[in-house]
Structure 1
Amino acid sequence: MQNRDDNNNNNFFNKNPLITFAIFSIVIILLFKTLIGENSPNEASVVGNKRAKQISYSELKSLIETKGVNKVDIGQSYIKAYSTDNATLYTTRIVPSDSKLTEELDKQGIEYNGFSETNWFTEMFGWLFPFLIIIAIWMFFAGRMQKSMGSGILGMGGSKKMINSEKPKTKFDDVAGVEEAKEEVQEIVDFLKYPARYVEIGAKIPKGVLLVGSPGTGKTLLAKAVAGEADVPFFSVTGSSFIEMFVGVGAARVRDLFEQAKKDAPSIIFIDEIDAIGKSRSAGANMGGNDEREQTLNQLLAEMDGFGTDTPIIILAATNRPEILDQALLRPGRFDRQVLVDKPDYEGRIKILKVHVKGVKMDSDVDLAEVARLTAGLAGADLANIVNEGALLAGRKNQKTVTQKDLYEAVERALAGLAKKSRRINPKEKKIVAYHESGHALMAETTVGAKKVSKVSIVPRGLAALGYTLNTPEENKFMMQRHELWAEVDVLLGGRAAEQVFIGEISTGAGNDLERATDIIKSMVQTYGMSDVAGLMVLEKSRHSFLSGGYGQSSREYSNKMAENMDEFIKTSLQERYNGVVERLELYRDAVEEVVKLLYKKENITGEEVRDIIINFEKENNLVSKVNIVVDDIEEELKADAKMVEEADKENNKHNKEGRDEK
């Protein structure tokens, strides 16, 4: 017990150098005061073999007048006077205002001298004091650097304070919606649990696994689940933590990280946002970078080659920008497997919502399947935020449970922004917004290939939207057909056309709609080969960006004549589509008026209410066959594709089940 207390005390002083320095300074000052005590006027002190007696200044004057002293030493702050028999030393504080003391001494014929009150120690301390100040400042900054940069010289180079070492409790059951990704990393768990099984058979487990996916899809959670299932230490660190202002610190931290992982093997190293240090070193790709990042990357590459295939250490890394990573990282033997952690599909969203509602009190009317249908294209983090927003809304209303209405409002917040109920618009603008949004809704419901309407609102939301039409796809879409692109253009033009048809004048509210419609047609010409202007030619080579899900920088590679033809095609196409939209709205004039009346009354209407108005109007006017024209070939093709996908899913599930049974 005593040894442990001593160790704790030693650790305390080692971790608090400033406290140690303060205690050391106090001891030095006390020693200093003790050594210079002979020069202080203290009644109990002894100077040499003479006893020092402290007296008042007036008593000293009386002794001088009666010649009770035969010698006086005058210092800067006090006086020493020796008795006539030299047996007693009198000391007293000097009075600066008394300038006649020396005259009195001359008058009485008493010898007097001056003396210095300092000694060798005080002089030495005066020389050393500036150095002590410098040492104190150095220790202060050294302590700050050690806290922020880890261990090592001046706190640089270590990674003990930089990384998180733990044994996560997360399991695969806590990760939903990414079933394919879980299957890909399952063999890593088996290798960490039973490494001998793979070594004996001669199999080489991947050294590194790169988790690729959009933000919020659960890459970090999946990495923790791997460590939790394998029950091994989990060393997590972000890529930016390796980079410091000092050259060589990042490489030292990489070495330290791998040394710790090897000591605790089997273990997992997880590097989040690895693109911070793993950017490509090819010509022109590292402009504005520094040598520190490149040295850190080189050290990481060397460390990944530094342990054999039988070493039970797995490196997991996550990024949402795989296109910028250095090819040396992605070659076999390093990150030789890439696992896509994609946004969840409909079934996956239901599973994710079930995970996040476990600790939330839900009302009996909550339908998670309906919430999942409205949130197509959202990631797991978005779904978690929607559940939390719903709970916050319920708590604000002092409810005991979260209702379906709360979740609907949370979905709207996530997709369209916060409702600005305090932003009151005048009746004229409200009328324009109502017709504008009704035009969007009408075109979405009567155009083949368009996304159906979930909600129409004339309540301002977000930064600038005075109203919105919420369109949600039936499912995640990874590609679009030509008729679907034209349908999206028609829906975008519906708002502008409605203003012209029903109000007789256009406004600035359709600016963003026109911009998006123009971009769609331009992409159809330049990139997708969906026009006669360029045929199958690709006019712009684009660099795909995984993060944005679209295309990044592009370069123009066509003539001015081609540009003129393309501009003319875009202009003509927009006008033709716009004319068709105007005709459609003229045909459905009464239906649009009904939607506008309902919007004025309720301010928010559902997609079902819009569809009921349109269906009733079509029945009354026998317009179904005229408007909902579905090309038979397209319909049959879509049905065949759906059936093929369903059969492939069944076969894949059967194969996976057989594989699990064999294990």
Structure 2
Amino acid sequence: MVRYLVPVACIVLGIALLAFAGWRFVNITVSSTTTIERPISDILNMADKGQIKSVTISGNDVTATNAKNQEYHAVKEDGQSVTEILRKDGVQVNIDSGQRGQWAQGVLDVLLIVLIVGGMYFFIRRSGVGGQALPFSRSKAKRFNESRPSILFKDVAGVEEAKTELQEIVEFLKHPERFTAMGARTPKGVLLVGSPGTGKTLISRAVAGEAGVAFYSVSGSEFVEMFVGVGAARVRDLFKEAKEHAPCIVFIDEIDAVGRQRNNSGMGGNDEREQTLNQLLVEMDGFDKHTNVVVIAATNRPDVLDPALLRPGRFDRRVMLDKPDIRGREAILHVHAEDKPLADDVNLMDLARQTAGFSGADLSNLLNEAALLAARNGQKIICQPQLDEAILRVMAGPERKSRLITEAEKAIIAYHEVGHAIVMRCMPGADPVQKVSAISRGMALGITVQAPAEDRYLMRRSELLAKMAGAMGGRAAEEIIFGDITTGASQDIEYVTNIARRMVCEFGMTALGNIALKMDPDGSSSISAETAAKIDAEVSVLIDQAYVKALSILREKQEKLIAISEHLIKVETIDGAELDAILFAA
């Protein structure tokens, strides 16, 4: 209840100030409009005729009132004596020195000024800290309670190397004297680099939880405002508070929002973001060896960061967080499955094999979607069908059975997806097909799911060609069966074009040789027009070869293409085992 008293008092004070100012304005306006200006001679003539009841003389100002209480104002000349004349005419004359009225008016004006200034001062005091800072210059960092850590290293799985690297930060925050006794320099900053969803924020909170210190979390975009100097003020306020609560951890998420390279960002010398970056550099360089404040920053774009941020003494080390391998995915699934009732036949290792390329956030979302589906169906445990459906939801979105699709379009979708599946299954080096569906999901009208049998970090040229041929299988099936093509292959064409261009420009897998032909960071290119034409020609050759290969396979398997597609039209979804049973049946 007390917290509402101050806002209410502010509102009441504001209303009082406005009412007082309005009363003064009305008082002055009314008094000036109800008094009639007349020359002094008219006042004397009216008094001589008995039309004036009383007169008040203040200096040279003469205010006369008639029987109807109408006031007249006149100004007499210096030294002119009208008092005796008016009294002879029977008019009551009052002499006013003016000091009393002027004093009262002065008091009212001074009171109004004091109220306005005092109210403004009060508002400023309430909006800042000790009257020193306005709210838009305060840091927006959130502080988490170090006495009750909610995240520890045991809650983070699939990033064992990163945990090993960060364990040293924990030891330093717990026992800094061990390191200073050896003359070791305080680690000031750690840069976490990884794809979205790999657990950068989670592992930072785990470091703070393990060390039992305060944890400040802020996004890089929260430093930058439209007002120049606000971002720098927020940086100063953040580090001031962090030093007061040291030892602690300051976590800056998406630091590339404020830490971009100054020479490539197009920023001027007075740019707000550049000033914020400069202040961040100064604050990190201003730590002395006894300041136990560690800055952990996260980004998925380390290539755009300013070199001054990355030098030793600021961000001393860089920790990579990759997408987890199969063992990491299994460990992550175990962590997120602790509070979920799984059926006895659910094998998390098999689930990890089906989710190659999933990040930690994807796996968490997968189990959550499965739990939601089970609860929606009124089940007490999560079974394998819910997990299979959850995988498709994470990959392509929920089913859209409400979308009205004609029988002709449904047939095209089925043949398109089966064309993908058959080419993928028949190409050596292609990943196994897990599921084929003619049901619309998200933006896709159908979906064919592939999953590698094992994690791979290198791709052979033959494997890339197999991916391209598999992606063109849908367009090839349309041409073979219907003699026409549709717009359904637009994403497939974009996908194969991207692979082919990278094979030419990055991987050196074509006739152009082992040469990197990439765009510059600022978007420009030093590639000549002649070389660009060769690149386009090589890309076109690769795509044409993939399409010809897909046509060749599907013409050879045309009977199987028809049989599997007609079956898919009826059942809408088939898995990899069912596909193989029909495709390789005698």
TM surpasses 0.5: yes
Corresponding residue for residue 434 of structure 1? 414
Equivalent residue, structure 2, for 1:216: 197
Q: Is the 8 A contact 1:239 1:273 kept in 2?
A: yes
Question: Equivalent of 2:247, from 266, 280, 286?
Answer: 266
CA contact (8 A) 1:172 1:182 kept: yes
Across the aligned residues of Structure 1 and Structure 2, the Cα RMSD in angstroms comes to 3.8
Query: Which runs of structure 2 are paired with 1:620-635 in the superposition (5 Å)?
Result: 620=586
1:459 aligns with 2:434: no
1:423 maps to which residue? 403
Instruction: Determine the structure 1 residue equivalent to 2:210.
Output: 229
- Residue deviations 1:174-224 (CA, integer Å, cap 9, x gap): 111111100000111111111111122222342211111111111111111
Distance 1:429 1:155 in 2: 58
C-alpha distance in 1 between matches for 2:461 and 2:132: 61
How much does 1:489 deviate?
A: 1.1
1:43-101 CA-partner distances (Å, limit 9, x unpaired) = xxxxxxxxxxxxxxxxxxxxxxxxxxxxx9899xxxxxxxxxxxxxxxxxxxxxx9699
Per-residue deviation, 1:124: 4.8
**Where does structure 2 lack aligned partners over 5 or more consecutive residues?**
24-52, 57-66, 72-88
> Does 2:461 match 1:482?
yes
Q: 1:473 aligns with which of 452, 464, 468?
A: 452
Matched residues, percent identical? 45
Give me the TM-score of the superposition, normalised by structure 2.
Answer: 0.79
Give per-residue Cα distances to partners, 1:290-321, cap 9 Å, x unaligned.
53322222222222222333432222111122
Measured at CA, do residues 399 and 288 of structure 1 come closer, stay the same or move farther in structure 2, by a change above 3 Å? farther
Looking at structure 2, the residues matched to 526 and 29 of structure 1 have their Cα atoms a distance apart, in angstroms, of 74
Once the two structures are TM-superposed, the CA of residue 598 in structure 1 deviates from its matched residue by 2.0
1:270 partner SS: strand
d(CA) in 1 for partners of 2:384 and 2:300?
33
Distance 1:21 1:429 in 2: 64
Distance 1:401 1:266 in 2: 44
User: Could you tell me which of 9, 28, 49 is aligned with 1:19?
Assistant: 9
Of residues 233, 245, 252, the one that matches 1:252 is: 233
In the aligned structure 1, how far is the partner of 2:543 from the partner of 2:94? 106
Q: From the superposition, tell whether residues 275 and 140 of structure 1 become closer, same or farther in structure 2 (CA, over 3 Å).
A: farther
Q: 1:21 to 1:542 in 2, by over 3 A?
A: closer
User: Given the alignment of the two structures, is residue 607 of structure 1 paired with residue 576 of structure 2, yes or no?
Assistant: yes
1:170, 1:228 within 8 Å by CA — same for their partners in 2?
yes
Q: Tell me if the contact between 2:188 and 2:293 (Cα under 8 Å) persists in the aligned partners.
A: yes
The residue correspondences of 1:130-169 to structure 2 (distance < 5 A) are 131=113, 138=120, 142=124, 146=128, 152-155=132-135, 157-159=137-139, 162-167=141-146, 168-169=149-150
The CA deviation at 1:157 is 3.9
Question: How does 1:220-619 map onto structure 2 within 5 Å?
Answer: 220-282=201-263, 284-287=264-267, 290-463=270-443, 465-532=444-511, 534-541=512-519, 543=521, 553=523, 555=525, 557-560=527-530, 562-616=531-585
Q: In structure 2, do the counterparts of structure 1 residues 603 and 181 end up closer, same or farther at CA, with 3 Å as the change threshold?
A: same
Q: CA deviation at 1:113?
A: 8.8
Farther-moved stretch of structure 1 (574-583 vs 341-350): 574-583
8 A contact 1:265–1:312 mirrored in 2: yes
Corresponding pairs, count: 527
**Equivalent AA in structure 1 for residue 478 of structure 2:** E
- Hey, what does 1:643 align to over in structure 2? none
2:124·2:131 contact (CA, 8 Å) conserved in 1? Answer: no
Note the C-alpha offset of 1:122.
7.0
- For 1:427 and 1:456, the matched residues in 2 are separated by 18
Alignment partners' CA distance in 2, 1:247 and 1:401? 56
Distance in 2 between residues matched to 1:438 and 1:115, nearest whole Å? 111
Alpha-carbon distance in 2 for matches of 1:24, 1:574: 72
CA distance in 1, matches of 2:520, 2:257: 23
> Shift of the alpha carbon at 1:440?
0.3
SS in 2 for 1:540: coil
Report if the CA contact (8 A) 2:17-2:115 is conserved.
Answer: no
What corresponds to 1:58 in structure 2?
none
Give the secondary structure class of the aligned counterpart of 1:335.
coil
Aligned residues of 1:177 and 1:351 also touching (Cα < 8 A): yes
Counterparts in 2 of 1:601 and 1:198: CA distance versus 1, 3 Å: same
Matches of 1:358 and 1:119 in 2, distance apart?
A: 83
Deviations 1:609-631 (A, max 9, x none): 11222232xxx2xxxxxxxxxxx
Which structure 1 residue ranges, 5 or more long, are not aligned? Answer: 1-7, 34-71, 76-97, 103-108, 544-551, 621-663
State the one-letter code of the partner of 1:353: L
Q: Could you tell me which amino acid in structure 1 is paired with residue 517 of structure 2? A: L
The letter of the residue matching 1:385 is N
2:231·2:275 contact (CA, 8 Å) conserved in 1?
yes
The 8 Å contact of residues 209 and 336 in structure 1, kept in 2 or not, is answered as yes
TM-fit CA distance, 1:23: 6.1
In structure 2, C-alpha distance between the alignment counterparts of 1:487 and 1:22, rounded to whole Å = 75
Residue aligning to 1:195: 176
**Match runs of 1:84-99 below 5 Å:** none
Alignment of 1:115-126 (within 5 A): 123-124=105-106
Q: Distance in 2 between matches of 1:421 and 1:140?
A: 61
2:228 is paired with a residue whose SS is coil
Q: 1:29 to 1:461 in 2, by over 3 A?
A: closer
Structure 1 window deviating more from structure 2 (249-258 vs 607-616): it is 249-258
> Is the Cα contact below 8 Å between 1:301 and 1:329 reproduced in 2?
yes
Q: How far is 1:266 from its partner?
A: 2.0
Shift of 1:120: 6.0
Shift of 1:394: 2.0
Distance 1:487 1:280 in 2: 39
Measured in 2, the distance between the counterparts of 1:271 and 1:428 equals 53
Paired with 1:180 and 1:399, the residues of 2 have a C-alpha distance of: 39
| Cα distance in structure 1, aligned partners of 2:467 and 2:123 | 61
Go from structure 1 to structure 2 and tell me whether the alpha carbon gap of 1:127 and 1:309 turns closer, same or farther (over 3 Å shift): closer
